[in-house]
Amino acid sequence: MEDTYTKNPELGFDLTNTVKFVTEKLQSYGLEPKKVGKAGITALIGKGEPCILLRADMDSLPMQETSGLDFAATNGHCHSCGHDTHTSMLLLAAKMLKENEANLKGTVKLMFQPAEEILQGSLDMIENGILENPKVDVAVAMHVFMGEKDTASGSIRTTKGMAMSSADAYTITVKGKSSHGSMPELGVDAVITACHIAIALQNITSREISMFNQNVVLVGKISGGDTPNTTPGHAKLEVTTRANSEESRAFLEKRINEISKGIAETFRATVEITHNMGSPTLYNNPELVEDLLESAKNIVPEDKINLVRMSSGTEDFAFVALKVPSALIQFGVGSIDEGYKYGVHNSSMTLNEDSLPTGAALYAQFATEYLNKHGN
């Protein structure tokens, strides 16, 4: 796995070698994998109702790996979010489930997903039928975490209800009027207007939303103007938001538009606002979470199973959760106390590979227990 996948990460939907690798592995287990959408893969184990979907993502991040591992990637891409481990665990789980196929009381549908990092892969697979034929009743995903106090190897944590934030991006283009720097009264300063917009947007979370309602409005980049001695006639703000509910998400959009347009008008400028929809909030079905936690006790010690508050991170598994009852489980693969000091999205991240068979066993256990409980 290390040489053929982790060492050669690929991005987004451009997963030619990754798809080939996963497909061949599934075929070697006696499965019949099929392509879904641009670069997704699915396969079925068992038959009949109910149907539980197990999901793993496959793509990487555009950063040079600096882990120092012998099998570190050298192509400028990096599995620093652990998607290679998700795929590894689900592949091993698929092997276990196939070997036990005769005893399954329903169907396990595998979902190997591209383009999670750009929040597009899950939706692409949904639009191309991953939740149909057979119809999916529930869905489960796991995500590895490391480099924190509570990410001990082989531990799990999850949330009942709202589990992860939404993420959206906005581009606010301010149009003013250029003039010579000695005659600013003849111009409309787009940069000054953009700065006032940036400051005012911070008011949304600090003054218009309860401190107990976790939301983020981040102006990550401001650019504008052409030369130092000219009143800038154009500027651009790039904004990201995170919300803990779809209601809050809609409120942030409304206020970003109102504030930006209002300030622009005050300063005699105009604005164009582009909303690049990201991923919705991820809702963990409480009943399914309860079932999974009970199931997990067969694999990991009870003191390594924890309920935690919702995360401000984002997962495009949320698109699946909008369609069917779902749950995302966070799986620990190395804590700070165990010597793993870097977390996800750090190019120096490492993890405890010995934990991965436990993760695979959890996938297989979740599916088997669910089908035993709800199947005929």
Segments making up each domain of the chain, as ranges = 3-165+281-374, 166-276
Residue 286 preceded by cis peptide, ω within 30: no
- Is residue 59 within 8 A of residue 116, CB to CB? The reply is yes
Helix (H) or strand (E) holding 203: helix 190-207
DSSP code at position 136: P
Q: Is 131 helix (H, G, I), strand (E, B) or coil?
A: coil
Q: What is the CB neighbour count within 10 angstroms for residue 76? A: 12
Query: Is the torsion defined by CA of 48, 51, 53, 54 positive or negative?
Result: negative
Looking at this protein, which amino acid is placed at residue 212?
A: F
Over residues 257-267, the mean pLDDT reads: 99
Which band of pLDDT confidence, cut at 50, 70 and 90, is reported for residue 253? Answer: very high
Q: What is the CB neighbour count within 10 angstroms for residue 333? A: 28
pLDDT value at position 4?
Answer: 59
* Statement: residue 3 has pLDDT above 60: no
Q: Is 345 helix (H, G, I), strand (E, B) or coil?
A: coil
Which band of pLDDT confidence, cut at 50, 70 and 90, is reported for residue 309? Answer: very high
- Is residue 40 within 8 A of residue 130, CB to CB? The reply is yes
Which band of pLDDT confidence, cut at 50, 70 and 90, is reported for residue 72? Answer: confident
Note the CATH architecture for domain 3-165+281-374: 3-Layer(aba) Sandwich (3.40)
pLDDT value at position 307?
Answer: 96
pLDDT value at position 214?
Answer: 86
Pair of tokens at residue 199: 């400051």
Q: How far apart are CA 341 and CA 337, in angstroms?
A: 8
| Domain 166-276 fold | Alpha-Beta Plaits (3.30.70)
* Statement: residue 266 has pLDDT above 80: yes
What residues are designated binding site for Mn(2+)?
A: 81, 83, 117, 143, 345
Tens digit of each residue's pLDDT (9 = 90 or more) over 156-213: 999 999 999 999 999 999 999 999 999 999 999 999 999 999 999 999 999 999 988 8
pLDDT averaged over every residue in the chain:
96
What residues are designated binding site?
A: 81, 83, 117, 143, 345
75-79, 109-113, 188-192: range with lowest mean pLDDT: 75-79
> What pTM was estimated for this model as a whole?
0.91
Tens digit of each residue's pLDDT (9 = 90 or more) over 272-294: 999 988 899 999 999 999 999 99
